[in-house]
A = this chain, B = another copy of it.
Amino acid sequence: MALKPSSPASTTEFPAVICTVDVVLLTLKDQALHVVLVDRDRPPFAGVPALPGGFVHVQEDATAWHAAARALQEKAGIVSPYLEQLATWSGAKRDSRGWSVSIVYYAVVAFELLPADRPGLRTAPIDSLPSLPFDHGEMVATAVARVRTKSQYSSLPIYLCGERVTLPQLQAVYEAVLGEPINKVSFRRKIEELGMLEPIAGETTMAGAHRPAQVYQLRPQYRRKLSVVPRGINALG
């Protein structure tokens, strides 16, 4: 049973806190993780590449998640199939404008789904990031660590692939994210356990001197969610 307030809302003045959202959107380009950045359109740090984000619009955004989805669309032209909460950064000193909170979300997306030639939109390799404003550098590092941990146990890296993928390509994506080689036999069993991919009948690709590789696609019911394997992708057995 939901409780009802026992008396009218208090009339206390609430302390003024700046509430923003930021989004760490990771993608794979040239087999390396990249983060999506947009040039800031206002001070502080006007013109400097930063994570897409902005103020919560209290009249418009039902929750911080909605604010993040809106900011990502407005600032970067991107509709992500999902956004997960990463963590919240807060404090008196992180923003020159006052005591501030940034609720940070993250997602991974296939590079080919990013808008091409959008002014101010860029990707930067996570291993050689430009200097980012506020604590955005720390947010990116936290998101990368989370994605790596989560990739050991889930289908997360599948969302870095295009719509069609072969198993050797998918293994290369997992290896790029995890930063280590994966046993092929164990990998294929885990992917089969996940049950997210279906072969596209009759479609194969030829890569170099190898045998033709079957092309797969995400089953429709998985296009907007993640699956999890009970033990790690890279665990033996």
Q: Is the CB of B10 within 8 A of A44?
A: yes
**What residues of chain B lie closer than 8 Å to A44, measured between beta carbons?**
5-7, 9-10
Contact pattern, A 88-118, Cβ under 8 Å of B = 1, otherwise 0: 1011110011110101000000000000000
For the complex, what is the distance from the CA of A214 to the CA of B56, rounded to whole Å? 56
Partner of A45, one of B3, B47, B56, B90: B3
Q: Is the CB of A19 within 8 A of B101?
A: yes
Is A58 at the interface (CB under 8 A from chain B)?
yes
Q: Which residue of B lies closest to A65 (CB)?
A: B90
For the complex, what is the distance from the CA of A108 to the CA of B11, rounded to whole Å? 34
Contact pattern, A 44-72, Cβ under 8 Å of B = 1, otherwise 0: 11111000000111110111110000000
Task: Decide if the interface of chain A is mainly helix, strand, loop or mixed.
Answer: loop
For the complex, what is the distance from the CA of A221 to the CA of B62, rounded to whole Å? 45
Q: Is the CB of A10 within 8 A of B64?
A: no
Residue with the highest number of chain B CB atoms closer than 10 Å, among A10, A14, A97, A131: A14
Q: Is the CB of B16 within 8 A of A14?
A: yes
For the complex, what is the distance from the CA of A103 to the CA of B58, rounded to whole Å? 17
Q: Is the CB of A18 within 8 A of B7?
A: no
Q: Is the CB of A64 within 8 A of B91?
A: yes
Is A15 at the interface (CB under 8 A from chain B)?
yes
Chain A stretch 204-237: residues in CB contact (< 8 A) with chain B: 231, 235
For the complex, what is the distance from the CA of A99 to the CA of B3, rounded to whole Å? 19
Q: Is the CB of B97 within 8 A of A43?
A: no
Q: Which residue of B lies closest to A19 (CB)?
A: B17
Contact pattern, A 169-185, Cβ under 8 Å of B = 1, otherwise 0: 00000000000000000
**What residues of chain B lie closer than 8 Å to A48, measured between beta carbons?**
3, 6
Contact pattern, A 28-44, Cβ under 8 Å of B = 1, otherwise 0: 00000000000000111
Is A85 at the interface (CB under 8 A from chain B)?
yes
Add 17 more A-B contacts to A9-B43, A19-B90 (CB < 8 A).
A2-B131, A3-B132, A5-B45, A6-B45, A6-B46, A6-B48, A7-B46, A8-B43, A9-B44, A10-B43, A10-B97, A15-B56, A56-B99, A58-B98, A88-B88, A101-B101, A101-B103
Q: List 20 A-B contacts (CB under 8 A).
A: A1-B131, A3-B48, A6-B43, A6-B44, A6-B45, A6-B46, A8-B43, A10-B44, A10-B97, A14-B19, A16-B16, A17-B17, A17-B19, A56-B90, A56-B99, A62-B91, A62-B93, A64-B88, A88-B103, A231-B235
